[in-house]
Amino acid sequence: MDIDLAGRTAVVTGGSKGIGLAVVRQLAASGARVITGAQRSSPEIAALAGDRQVLFTEVDLADPAGPAQLVATAGDRVDILVNNVGSAKARTGGFLSVTDEDWTASLTLNLLAAVRATRAALPGMLAARAGAIVMTCSVNARLPDPAVIDYSAAKAALAGFAKALSKEVGPLGVRVNTVSPGPVATDLWLGSDGVAATVSRATGARPDDVEGQAAAQSVTGRFSQPAEVADLIVYLASDHAANITGADFSIDGGLIPTW
């Protein structure tokens, strides 16, 4: 399917690696001008930002002012907003080990960053009576896991926020959808401080075994790839999805039961 986003401006939060980086690549390949930001750059996003079509800025999206600063970099109008930034810490010590600081950090990055970026981008979309907002949610919004209890709660809140907002702004030309991946082959799961490594250190199991057990829970027996998630996000941002709003799309290899 040919997706043409020429002439449109997109903002992607957390675009230096993982799913966000894949989204930036696909948006740019589809012709959009892409503004993205994260706390730190990466060689991959630096290479993309060598082209005028992609602009990267270092910004702390957990700071209350950070999301609006990123959106402001895009100029007067944002056509597409991808609220992607997020983080999940494996809570191997159980619920009682999760502090107020842990809860605040998780809710800030996984929920409030999206709320704040949306608050900054939405007025221009409403003025244009056009726009697409896609939130990177998670299967844990519907399949809560005690190992990521605060992340699960934050993503459930993100899903509720997106659905409620879609009802308000849909009649005004702005579409809001969520994409909910299961485990994805990114640093969040597979990095040196990712879920697999954290569980490995706590249990003595090999990281490869932790990864394998997680993959085996899916019907397909594997993790999703970042590019697969990005393809779905970019489709939802395009005119091909012009009558899709208030919807959540799982990309989880059949992890969530259908009953």
CATH fold of 77-182+224-251 reads Rossmann fold (3.40.50)
Catalytic entry in 30, 148, 151, 226: 151
**Which secondary structure element, helix H or strand E, spans residue 192, and what is its range?**
none
Q: What residues have CB less than 8 Å from 191, skipping those under 6 apart?
A: 197
pLDDT of residue 212: 85
* H or E, element range at 151: helix 149-169
Is 235 known to be catalytic? no
161-210 residue pLDDT tens: 999 999 999 999 999 999 999 999 887 888 777 787 888 888 888 888 77
Closest by alpha carbon to 61, among 88, 83, 43? Answer: 83
Contact 185, 224 (CB under 8 A): yes
Kindly report the pTM of this predicted structure: 0.94
Which residues in the chain come in under a pLDDT of 50? none
Q: What single letter denotes the amino acid at residue 111?
A: L
Q: Provide the token pair at 185.
A: 């082959």
Report pLDDT for 259.
61
Which of these, 10, 4, 13, lies nearest to 136 by C-alpha position?
13
